[in-house]
Amino acid sequence: MIREKSHAAVVRAKELMPGGVNSAARAFGAVGGEPIVIDRAEGAYLFDLDGNQYLDYIGSWGPMILGHRHPRVVAALTAAIERGTSYGAPTLAENELAELLIDAVASVEKVRLVNSGSEATMTAIRLARGYTGRDLIVKFAGNYHGHVDSLLVAAGSAAATLGAPDSQGVTTGAAKDTLIANYNDVGSISAIFAEHEERIAAVIFEPVVGNMGCVIPQHDFLAALRSLTREHGALLICDEVMTGFRVAYGGAQSLWPIDPDLTTLGKIAGGGMPLAALGGRGEIMDHILPAGKVFQAGTLSGNPIATAAGIATLRELQEHPPYERLEQLAARLAAGLQEAATEAGLPHTLARVGSMMTLFFHDQPVTDWDVAAQCDTQRYAQYFWGMMDRNVYLPCSQYEALFVSAAHTEDDIDRTVAAAKQTCQQIAQT
């Protein structure tokens, strides 16, 4: 497949930007080779600079649940741009989006809009410490909560992919108040609370992990998180930046009895624009400035362009719910990918919740980072490029989830499965 223009663009990008990218996950470091450079997108498809067309199962890493350039979203963006791009002052759109978020997520009574998932988790951690008067935060190995210094400890996603779960530049002081537990391990989190008791401000977790691949929570683990935090006066922070509006309109906490104190949202909530939110119980949220004394601010927070995209996306999801169809399409894809790997004799397992999933090249169910780390990442790299050469764009890491959008069709799914069968057979013969 010809990718000459992409190559030239990547060469130039490396002269202008570190590694030629503005987010490490885009660099193809886990699969080798060069990233392709995108020119445009439409529906379920991406088009690179050389005119190659790809079935897109990344969806901008999750936000594009309606597909690219959905007419309702485009119309909302166009109308918003005609009124102005940023005011640095309150707008009615902020009220409208806040109401949508509060109505959608049962545990959320008030929200603060920010610009990224990292900002949302950073604010959640600061708020938890300010509210409780405590310092310690517990996170789980393989869970990724953005590039916040205190949370870049045993991170997943690009950090795990690059073999650097602890980033240079994160000081000992920044990391010393972060404790690491094992995901889905009740004994691990119980032991931390037994040792540190009333010093823990909060536990932050992904309700369905997406950054060591798709990993599904166990019911006893979720129950332990809630009971232990309540018993010891710590807050429970549910990071739904990826799962919010993806696995269900009300997020993962509408599928499992989680009932967190604080929730972070992003990606779909912003309709593909830079927007995220922190939400939770009103009593806790009112500790944020100017109602309280926990500082948070942002020039572009809740800007009219991002709120327009978020409102249009959530209204579309409300009025024309795609979730039943997404479930059918995703189940069809999951079965096909498993069949392809099985027929080729490739050890694998697949995890899926709704329209997000990961095919792991490992023969045991992936429940935590220790198991995920045993996956055959070299085989995944072969798989990735085999699918790419057959015009299917998958996540460029074994440790990322793929996403099905409402723009995908049954024919798209069947073409993807056919490509997977050819790719798996090719791998088996090497």
Ramachandran class of 35: left when φ > 0, alpha when ψ lies in -120 to 50, beta otherwise: beta
Give the end of a domain, one of 319, 335, 370: 319
CA distance 346 to 326: 27
Q: Residue 147 is part of which domain span?
A: 71-319
Here the tokens at position 413 are 């799914």
Mean per-residue pLDDT of the chain: 95
Predicted pLDDT of residue 158: 52
Specify the DSSP class assigned to residue 294.
B
Instruction: Identify whether residues 84 and 23 lie together within a single domain.
Output: no
User: In b/e form, how buried is each residue of 362-392, taking b as 16+ CB within 10 angstroms?
Assistant: beeebbbbebbbebbbebbbbbbbbbbebbb
Instruction: Identify whether residues 314 and 192 lie together within a single domain.
Output: yes
Answer whether residue 233 shows pLDDT above 80.
yes
Q: Which CATH number characterizes residue 37's domain?
A: 3.90.1150.10
User: Looking at this protein, which amino acid is placed at residue 302?
Assistant: G
Here the tokens at position 168 are 């240079």
Q: Which residues pair with residue 136 across a beta bridge?
A: 200
Distances from the Cα of 393 to the Cαs of 73, 133, 352, 411, in angstroms? Answer: 23, 46, 18, 16
Q: Rounded to 5 degrees, what angle do the CA atoms 167, 210, 371 make? A: 80
Instruction: Identify whether residues 348 and 207 lie together within a single domain.
Output: no
Note the Cα 39 to chain centre separation in Å: 23
Instruction: Identify whether residues 216 and 109 lie together within a single domain.
Output: yes
Instruction: Identify whether residues 314 and 329 lie together within a single domain.
Output: no
162: confidence class by pLDDT, cuts 50, 70, 90: very low
Here the tokens at position 429 are 């013969």
Give the end of a domain, one of 295, 319, 343: 319
Query: To which residue do tokens 């977790």 refer?
Result: 205
Answer whether residue 82 shows pLDDT above 50.
yes
Range of lowest pLDDT (143-152, 269-278, 289-298): 143-152
What is the mean predicted confidence (pLDDT) over 27-49? 96
Instruction: Identify whether residues 264 and 217 lie together within a single domain.
Output: yes
Answer whether residue 263 shows pLDDT above 50.
yes
Mind telling me the catalytic residues? Answer: 144, 239, 267
Predicted pLDDT of residue 166: 62
Instruction: Identify whether residues 199 and 282 lie together within a single domain.
Output: yes
Answer whether residue 160 shows pLDDT above 50.
no
How many structural domains does the chain have? 2
Q: Beta 356-360 vs 349-353: how paired, if at all?
A: antiparallel
Residues 355-367: pLDDT tens digits? 999 999 999 999 9
Instruction: Identify whether residues 220 and 269 lie together within a single domain.
Output: yes
Judged by DSSP in three states, 388 sits in helix
Answer whether residue 79 shows pLDDT above 60.
yes
Under a CB-based contact definition with an 8 Å cutoff, are residues 274 and 306 in contact?
yes
Here the tokens at position 117 are 């998932």
Instruction: Identify whether residues 102 and 206 lie together within a single domain.
Output: yes
Distances from the Cα of 114 to the Cαs of 101, 278, 391, 406, in angstroms? Answer: 13, 8, 35, 26
If residue 116 lies in a helix (H) or strand (E), which one and from where to where? none
CA distance 267 to 243: 9
Answer whether residue 161 shows pLDDT above 50.
no
Instruction: Identify whether residues 90 and 139 lie together within a single domain.
Output: yes
What is the mean predicted confidence (pLDDT) over 12-26? 95
Answer whether residue 165 shows pLDDT above 50.
no
Instruction: Identify whether residues 29 and 98 lie together within a single domain.
Output: no
Give the end of a domain, one of 278, 295, 319: 319
Residues 240-256: pLDDT tens digits? 999 999 999 999 999 99
Instruction: Identify whether residues 107 and 84 lie together within a single domain.
Output: yes
155: confidence class by pLDDT, cuts 50, 70, 90: low
Handedness of CA 238, 244, 250, 252 (dihedral sign): negative
Q: Which CATH number characterizes residue 171's domain?
A: 3.40.640.10
Answer whether residue 114 shows pLDDT above 50.
yes
Predicted pLDDT of residue 171: 77
